[in-house]
Amino acid sequence: MNLYLATKNQGKVREINSLFTGTGIVFSSAAVIMGKVVEDGDTYHKNAFAKAMAVYEKMPDPVVAEDSGLEVDALEGAPGVYSARFAAQSDDDNATDEENINELLDFMQDVPKEMRTAKYVSVFCLIMGGTTMFFDGEVTGSIIDTPRGTSGFGYDPVFIPNGYDKTFAELGDDVKNKISHRAMAARKLRDYLLTIKSATNT
């Protein structure tokens, strides 16, 4: 079964493809088809839908998009849907991972350890045969004050998932792909696609 994946984020492409390894479900990057998408929705659902629809309206084949973010309790849920552009100079730009981490740590410099709780949220949007469906997942943890590790992307060097004492960037892809927000949401999407796949023999 082949689907388009509407994202330009190479970290996500890598993670999502490895989450579907061995399922017979293959994603082709639709980065070129989707063009520029303004992600100005105030929910992950709206932004994931906008990305998937940007591809579907040009090429009406099954397409998946994902929107995600980091929600920090001490910052009342920020950066949330603005995670990719937290440190950006304008609404049109994304910032680098390093700039975003520095911005986050600046905002949190006076937040004590026990109040540094946070969660990652992931929402997949599937558009298939004119029907839209969403699949979500989250992972809770906390934000440390100095980046550690080199794996993953985004805020991974400062996020420690609950039950661990290492950041996602130290734990590496094998652990992250079992417990992450994206893994949770992808598992729901995978289960749904596998039922369709066996019903249609694709």
Residues that bind ligand IMP (CB under 6 A): 9, 39, 67-70, 83-84, 100, 120, 152-156, 180, 182
Q: 158 with 107: CB under 8 angstroms?
A: no
Q: In whole angstroms, how close is the CB of 35 to ligand IMP at the nearest point?
A: 15
Beta strand residue intervals within 63-184, DSSP E: 63-72, 117-128, 131-143, 159-161
Nearest to ligand IMP of 166, 197 (CB atom): 166
Give the shortest CB-4-to-ligand IMP separation in angstroms.
16
**Nearer Cβ to ligand IMP (70/184):** 70
- Most distant CA pair in the chain, distance: 56
Least Å distance between CB 51 and ligand IMP?
Answer: 8
Give the side-chain half-sphere CA count within 13 A for 75.
Answer: 23
**Assigned token pair, 37:** 């998408």
Q: Which is nearer to ligand IMP, 9 or 29 (CB)?
A: 9
Nearer to ligand IMP, 41 or 192 (CB): 41
3-state helix, strand, coil in the chain (%, to 5): 40, 25, 35
E strand or H helix at 100, and its extent?
helix 97-107
- Which residue among the candidates 67, 106, 165, 191 is catalytic per the annotation? 67
Told to judge if 40 belongs to the known catalytic residues of this protein, a careful annotator would answer: no
Minimum distance of ligand IMP from residue 97's CB (angstroms): 7
Residue type, 36: K
Residues 123, 96, 122, CA angle at the centre, nearest 5°?
Answer: 10
Tokens of 174: 């094998």
Q: Which residues are catalytic?
A: 67
